[in-house]
Amino acid sequence: MEPKENIENLFRDTFNGYEEPVRPELWDSIKSQIPTPSAPSSPSGNSGGVTSAASGAKGGLGLGVWGGAAIVAVTASVLYFASPKEEESANVQNSQSTEQAGNIYEDPSQQMEPSNTTAMSMGEESDLQENRSEENTSHSSNSSAVENNSAVQKRAKNNTPVQKLNPSAPVSVTQSGNQRATDQSDPVLLAHAEKTVVENSPTQQKQTPGQVTRENIPDKSATQLKQFELVADPVKGVAPLGVDLKVPAFHGEVVWEFGDGASGFGGSAISHEYEIPGTYTAWASFKDGDGNTHKEPVLVTVEEDDFLKNFIPNVFTPNGDGINDIFTIRSEQLASVDVAIYDRRGKQVARFTDPELGWNGNLGNGEAAPKETYFYVIYATGNDGKVHNHKGTLKLMR
């Protein structure tokens, strides 16, 4: 495989954190189409739902019944009428009166489009997700799972945002055994979830073409859980840190969540690059040969590259007084540098590879850059050939 070089980096770096200004009218439009509380009641009062028939201005979105505060997600039911001819399928969904809020947004006509293989893997996928949520419910009665949990918490004491192991518990508890929760916590997979949901409902008989037939659902309660471990190599290093993640004893498909907001789907070994210093918990979710769902964590610590720190000025005053008038990085220990500077909106304002030139504080059009905080990304190579990448902020003063 050919090495990933500049083009990927260019796009990834440029779009990393990139923002576009949002017109305020967009919010007004969204606001009119989203759920509101059923009543100004206490958070626990899920006494009923309100009916609204707002139909979307764009794209034919509409909504029907909103089932009260979503704490008991299972009771929520939303209808979607894509077009008059879809009413029948919408009614079918209504009769299930279960929890597929959101699935129904998917234009039913699209459901026919993807190939069978697509549908198949999506079906299996949400299956896996569901199993995971069921597993959550059994934590209290499964001592090994509980131990596992606390171990995770101990390892993750550096407190990354990923660590919330329990918020789902109150929801899960309300899910009855047969009513398997449609917990598609991975929304990428939602597009096809409807097919799966249909089969989940005990009352649902009718199938339309393109649906996946679910195979035997394994009974997890009786089987002994196999133990798996997620291994990261290295577990610690300087940013950007490429980490090989692997579940050694397992061969099959794995849903990966890297803890930095990225996720993936692939085999039991995968590589991920952590670009920004921090502590992350990566998760591997998969189903073993016995049909049991596993979700294994590993902690990855990504450190600042101190090597460059010493060479980067922290003051930048391009006012022509001869002191700190250019921003650059100079060291006899560096063979090459490539520095890009971005403003707060993610727009690249300058880039240089010649340390003697650096950045003079002007924008591309020759105007002086405003006094504000900028971000820089430095790709540098040391004389020893070692790559040192660094991201940081730069305060421009005049």
Partner 1 sequence: MIPDEELAKGCREGDPKAQKQLFDRFSGRMLGVCARYASSSDEAEDILQEGFIKVFFRISSFKGEGSLEGWIRRVMVNTALDQIRKNKSFGKMIDLEVASAEAFAEDHTIESMNAKDLLKLMRTMPPGFRTVFNLYAVEGFAHKEIASMLGISESTSKSQYSRARVYLQKLVETTEKLV
Query: What letter represents residue 101's amino acid?
Result: A
> Exposed, middle or buried: residue 65 (CB in 10 Å: 0-12, 13-18, 19+)?
middle
Q: Which of residues 244-263 bind partner 1 (CB under 8 A)?
A: 257, 259-263
Binding of residue 380 to partner 1 (CB under 8 A): no
CA distances from 348 to 18, 21, 154, 185, 388 (A): 10, 16, 40, 34, 21
Q: Which of 76, 82, 115 lies closest to 94, judged by CA? A: 76
Residue 269 interacting with partner 1 (CB under 8 A): no
Out of 84, 141, 164, 177, name the contact with partner 1 by CB under 8 A.
164
Regarding 37 and contact with partner 1 (CB under 8 A), the answer is: yes
| Interface region with partner 1, contact rule CB under 8 A, candidates 63-71, 225-233, 367-375, 385-393 | 63-71
Q: Check residue 29 for interaction with partner 1 (CB under 8 A).
A: yes
* Residue 135 interacts with partner 1 (CB under 8 A): yes or no: no
Residue closer to partner 1 (CB basis): 29 or 223 = 29
The window from 27-35, 208-216, 222-230, 322-330 that contacts partner 1 (CB under 8 A) reads 27-35
- 3 lines the binding site for partner 1 (CB under 8 A): no
In angstroms, the Cα distances linking 204 to 97, 108, 374, 381 are 11, 17, 57, 62
Nearest approach in angstroms of CB 205 to partner 1 is 26
Residues 6+ apart with CB under 8 A from 199: 207, 211, 212, 213, 214
* Minimum CB–partner distance for residue 307 and partner 1 (Å): 25
Q: CA separation (Å) from 243 to 239, 288, 346?
A: 11, 24, 26
Using alpha carbons, list the distances in angstroms from residue 205 to 109, 197, 199, 216, 351.
20, 12, 8, 17, 62
User: Using the rule CB under 8 A, is 171 a contact of partner 1?
Assistant: yes
Question: Which of these, 259, 332, 247, lies nearest to 293 by C-alpha position?
Answer: 247
# binding residues, partner 1 (CB under 8 A): 88
CA distance 395 to 243: 32
153 binds partner 1 per the rule CB under 8 A: no
Q: Is 78 in the site for partner 1 (CB under 8 A)?
A: yes
Cβ atoms 275, 261 nearer than 8 A:
no
Query: Which residue among 90, 269, 283, 392 contacts partner 1 (CB under 8 A)?
Result: 283
* Contact residue for partner 1 among 84, 177, 187, 209 (CB under 8 A): 187
Question: In this complex, which beta carbon is closest to partner 1, that of residue 21 or of residue 385?
Answer: 21
Residues 291-330 that bind partner 1 (CB under 8 A): none
- 102 in contact with partner 1 (CB under 8 A): yes
Q: Interface with partner 1 includes 117 (CB under 8 A)?
A: yes
